[in-house]
């Protein structure tokens, strides 16, 4: 029996485990999600950890049956090609949407991001039909607009009439009139996601939002990731997005290599921004005073 251990235990499904499950089931193996009470019955256990801040699971056996992988384990190992390009086992998480990558890597070298080190430069990965089993899909590309293949896939997504969510965000610096027209043809599962991690990105985010709205890209309300290092700097970006009628989502800075964890102020700021009832009812200064 094969055991699959989702170390993060978040609401988001683990793609690597779904692919491993699909491959083992094709070999005729019995596959189950890992539970400690069945530890002695597993012939092999795959543990996948995406997030570095996820604590180690003490219930996981410490023996040769366990294979660990993922950024959370600071493990650069990759799935073999025959598993990487298999249709995921969506029954593992009872999903009603498909999930995958069209491209891997990125053209940027943001110091806070693990992608350049782990995946390298951007490149074609898979046609959407390789992992598409539903009429909606979550795409996890880090910078799909920076790859010609990725841009071509936008046209295919529009022709297939599936709803999609690029959940890692789109690079606002690459959204011109041509790209905006392509994005406007797509049906969106979630709001269009952008990022404004530095003040230098504010003009390009404003331009991208204008182009998307002018070309009829719906939903017309957009979502924007905001990296939080210096809180005052992040506050300026958040208020800029508020005025632009773009929904900000604050992400406290975490440096997994140097083991730098978010400060209490960064966490409080993120809570103020991300709890929309609070964000709409008071300013950051008012929120800080309430906290005191």
Q: What is the pTM of this model?
A: 0.90
The conformation of residue 93, written as its DSSP 8-state character, comes to: T
Phi, psi of 150, rounded to the nearest 5 degrees: -60, -40
Residues 158 and 186: beta-carbon distance below 8 Å? yes
pLDDT tens for the chain, residues 1 to 292 = 999 999 988 889 999 999 999 999 999 999 999 999 888 899 999 999 988 778 888 789 989 999 999 888 877 778 999 999 999 999 999 999 999 999 998 877 766 666 666 777 899 999 999 999 999 999 999 999 999 999 999 999 999 999 999 999 999 999 999 999 999 999 999 999 999 999 999 999 999 999 999 999 987 789 999 999 999 999 999 999 999 999 999 999 877 666 678 899 999 999 999 999 999 999 999 999 887 7
Does 215 lie in the same domain as 164?
A: no
Does 56 lie in the same domain as 17?
A: yes
Q: Could you list the residue range(s) of the whole structural domain that residue 63 is in?
A: 1-90
Q: What is the CATH number of the domain that holds 73?
A: 3.40.50
- Does any domain span residue 25? yes
CA–CA separation, 102 and 137 (whole Å): 11
The total domain count for the chain is 3
């Amino acid at each position: 029996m094969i055991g699959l251990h989702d170390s993060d235990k978040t609401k988001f499904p683990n793609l690597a485990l779904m692919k491993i499950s699909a491959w083992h089931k094709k070999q005729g193996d019995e596959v189950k999600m890992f539970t400690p009470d069945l530890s002695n019955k597993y012939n092999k256990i795959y543990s996948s950890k995406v997030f570095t801040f996820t604590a180690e699971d003490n219930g996981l056996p410490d023996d040769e049956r366990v294979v660990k992988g993922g950024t959370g384990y600071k493990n650069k190992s990759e799935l073999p090609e025959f598993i990487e390009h298999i249709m995921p086992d969506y029954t593992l998480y009872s999903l009603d949407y498909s999930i995958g990558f069209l491209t891997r890597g990125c053209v940027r070298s943001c110091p806070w991001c693990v992608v350049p080190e782990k995946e390298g430069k951007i490149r074609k990965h898979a046609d959407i039909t390789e992992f598409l089993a539903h009429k909606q899909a979550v795409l996890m590309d880090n910078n799909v607009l920076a790859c010609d293949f990725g841009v071509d896939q936008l046209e295919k997504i529009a022709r297939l009439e599936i709803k999609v969510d690029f959940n890692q965000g789109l690079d606002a610096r690459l959204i011109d009139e041509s790209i905006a027209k392509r994005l406007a043809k797509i049906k969106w599962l979630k709001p269009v996601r952008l990022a404004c991690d530095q003040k230098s990105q504010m003009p390009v985010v404003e331009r991208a939002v204008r182009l998307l709205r002018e070309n009829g890209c719906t939903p017309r309300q957009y979502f924007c990731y905001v990296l939080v290092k210096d809180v005052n700097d992040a506050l300026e970006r958040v208020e800029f997005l508020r005025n632009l009628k773009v929904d900000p989502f604050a992400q406290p800075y975490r440096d997994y290599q140097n083991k730098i964890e978010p400060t209490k102020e960064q966490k409080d700021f993120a809570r103020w921004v991300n709890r929309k009832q609070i964000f709409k009812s008071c300013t950051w200064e008012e929120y800080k005073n309430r906290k005191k």
